[in-house]
Amino acid sequence: MSSIDMSRIRNEYARSGLAESDAGDDPIALFDVWMAEAVAAGLHEPTAMALATASPDGKPSVRIVLLKGIDGDGVRFYTNYESRKGEELESNPYAALTMLWHQIERQVRIEGTVARTSPGDSDAYFASRPHGSQLGAVASPQSRAIADRGVLDEHYADAAAAYPDGVSRPAYWGGYLVRPESVEFWQGRESRMHDRIKFTRAPSGWHRERLAP
């Protein structure tokens, strides 16, 4: 049993709310505003998001990835296609994302279908990464069991020796685009009476509704 009584850990939320007039009609526009405010607040890793996937038989898994772009087409992130998340997205191309910004008492939840980005998009992003991160993508057999840390360090040293000046994107590494079917904005309020505004994609654009907290 834990020595910490977690049932007594509570924090009050006290920021101003989220009204429909502030939410507007376009979730991507509102997301841009919230992201800019998260960055301006100096939050650590403001682009971090939980990515939930599921196996063909419905077993879920979740991990943290980094948002690398969002526009009218969807949400972009990059990873090893042969990782567990990559394998699950290939067999069950649907995902849920959550971004949590504790300091400004906000969450954003996104659910939608998933497809790989184009090779050109993946090449361009990979080329923009620091050389060390490029080497890491080559060195790490992501999600595979390895004997110890020494194996990983040896792989990295081998990659550094093989690619001293630059690395071409491996075929097993690239981007995914999550095309949102729903986007929910959560704003903390006093007494747990939080604001939740949800956008659902409709044939003519977006349908907006308020959810009870």
Q: Is 94 annotated for ligand binding?
A: no
Q: Is 211 annotated for ligand binding?
A: no
Q: Is 200 annotated for ligand binding?
A: no
Q: Is 11 annotated for ligand binding?
A: yes
Q: Is 68 annotated for ligand binding?
A: yes
Q: Which position among 192, 201, 208, 210 bears the catalytic label?
A: 192
35-44, Cβ contacts within 8 angstroms, sequence gap of 24 or more: 35/70, 37/104, 38/101, 38/104, 38/106, 41/101, 41/103, 41/104, 43/101, 43/103, 43/104
CB 112 within 8 A of CB 178: yes
Write out the two tokens for 110: 């996104």
Residue 206 burial by CB count (10 A; 0-12/13-18/19+): exposed, middle or buried? middle
- Is 109 designated active site? no
For 70-94, give one letter per residue: b (16+ CB within 10 A) or e: beeebbbbbbbbbbbbbbbbeeebe
Helix (H) or strand (E) holding 49: strand 48-54
Q: Is 134 annotated for ligand binding?
A: no
Q: Is 125 annotated for ligand binding?
A: yes
Q: Is 109 annotated for ligand binding?
A: no
Residue 25 in 3-state DSSP? Answer: coil
Q: Is 103 annotated for ligand binding?
A: no
Q: Is 76 annotated for ligand binding?
A: no
Pick out the residues of the known binding site for substrate. 10-13, 68, 125, 129, 133, 192-194
Q: Which residues are catalytic?
A: 192
Q: From the annotation, which residues make up the binding site?
A: 10-13, 63-68, 78-79, 84-85, 107, 125, 129, 133, 142-143, 186, 192-194, 196
- Could you tell me which residues are annotated as the binding site for FMN? 63-68, 78-79, 84-85, 107, 142-143, 186, 196
